[in-house]
Chains A and B, each alone.
Chain A
Amino acid sequence: MATPSERRSEYLYPRVRRAVESTPAATTRTRMRILAALAIVPALTALVVVIASEAVYGRPAAGLGIDVASAAAVLMTLALLAGLALASTLFALSQGPGGLGIASTWLVSIVALVVPVYAALTVLQPLHSGAADVGLTGVTISPWGVRCIFIATVVSGSVLAIFAVALRRAVAVASGLRGGALGAAAGAWGGLAVFAFCPSGETQHLLVGHVLPIALFTLLGGVVLSRALRP
């Protein structure tokens, strides 16, 4: 004997079928979109850094070459920041074995840790002496990091949009938290870009121009992305 739920779902079948038949559905698998995003994001970040740095300082990746006391320390920090961006991206984009994403504790960790880890790596012990801020390069560097905020916004905004496309309709659970984690990951790519671009060593500049955009994109991801991510 059919249960009431079976009878009711059978009764609803024609309506559901009609609605489904008249609704288009994407066919590009999410895994493909995630792989494409993982290929595009580092290339995009590098491209923006090279173009911006050439335009402003006349050399690629000025932050890695101007006013640097230790090349090894810069490369180590660059590797750590790249690792931070990549790891947060992989966790935030992961669909998990059950298709419902990774555990919420991991997402909370990403949201909570990306900004402080980035700040600890770049602000607590700046790799630049601050000579570039007082005219070493002949380029005026704003103490409020206006140029860096712009570059971080371009990179993080583009990366966030790429993430949104990659995971569109794919997050059935905790979409706000996932949006925040994606925002933090996008912010980390923006942070990596300004680290490679900017030779400033001033604390105020680093906090406002480099760290603040990451915090803002974490917030933005949580607020704005949620709707696009839900099925």
Chain B
Amino acid sequence: MNATGDRLSSLMERYARGEDRVFEQLYGLLAPRLYRFCVRLATSVVEADDCFQETFLKLHRARATYVPGANPLYWAFAIARSVYLTRLRYWRRRPEQLGAARDVAEVGELQVHDTTPEAEVAAQHLHDTLASELGRMSEKNRVAYILLKEENLSAREAAEVLGTSVEVVKQRAHRAYESLKSALSTAGWSEYGNPV
């Protein structure tokens, strides 16, 4: 673990012992990446907000189960995915209530600096293509891709978070990558985000 990881681990250990006053610092270190992960899992702001809040609540309730020295971020990712899957199962039983989902682009995940209007439109198109394809692919492939390519976990760490083997994680991430590459190509982009 790096310095932030060590700090996070030490704060989580204190929080697990019942030191409620470290919550704010813990939240400050954990929340941004956890929220980004929830956004990528849920692909809608409303769902991501709910998933994020429920994850923190469960993390709080399960704090006594934290293993000293473990990376709290990976633990939080695993809880977030468990929360998301539970919500997914719930919504699948009640499909009539699906909908009202806004795309992640509405939160301003797209950041464009010092560019022309044409470049902004192009970037928006690229973002929409990626977000749409990520939302369309299976949850298993998507989450493997997110952990490996966006959160930069090693295949072994991702396998631990997902409760599966390293080979399976690599296969799922590769399938997601191929699917994104194909979607970009169809939309007129190279895999590196350049117009073809």
Contact = CB atoms under 8 A, between A and B. Distances in A.
B152 interface: no
A125 B162 CA distance: 41
Interface in A54-77: none
A170 to B, nearest CB: 4
Given A99-B66, A231-B65, A6 B74 contact: no
Chain A contact patch, size range: 35 or more
3 closest residue pairs by CB, A with B: A174-B163, A99-B67, A173-B163
Main secondary structure of the interface of B (DSSP, over half): helix
A19 B70 contact: no
A105 B165 contact: yes
B67 A98 contact: yes
For B31, B53, B67, B109, the residue with the greatest tally of chain A CB atoms inside 10 Å of its CB is B67
B32 A6 contact: yes
Contacts of B23: 17, 20
Nearest to B31: A9
Contact of A4 (B18, B62, B64, B111): B111
A176 B109 CA distance: 34
B160 A98 contact: yes
B174 interface: no
Interface stretch (B34-42, B131-139, B177-185): B34-42
27 contacts: A4-B108, A4-B109, A5-B32, A5-B33, A6-B31, A8-B49, A9-B32, A12-B31, A12-B49, A16-B53, A17-B27, A19-B56, A20-B60, A25-B63, A27-B18, A27-B64, A95-B65, A96-B160, A97-B70, A98-B75, A98-B157, A99-B66, A103-B159, A169-B62, A170-B65, A174-B163, A175-B82
Interface in A83-103: 95-101, 103
Given A16-B53, A26-B61, A95-B67, A5 B35 contact: yes
A134 interface: no
Contacts of A170: 62, 65
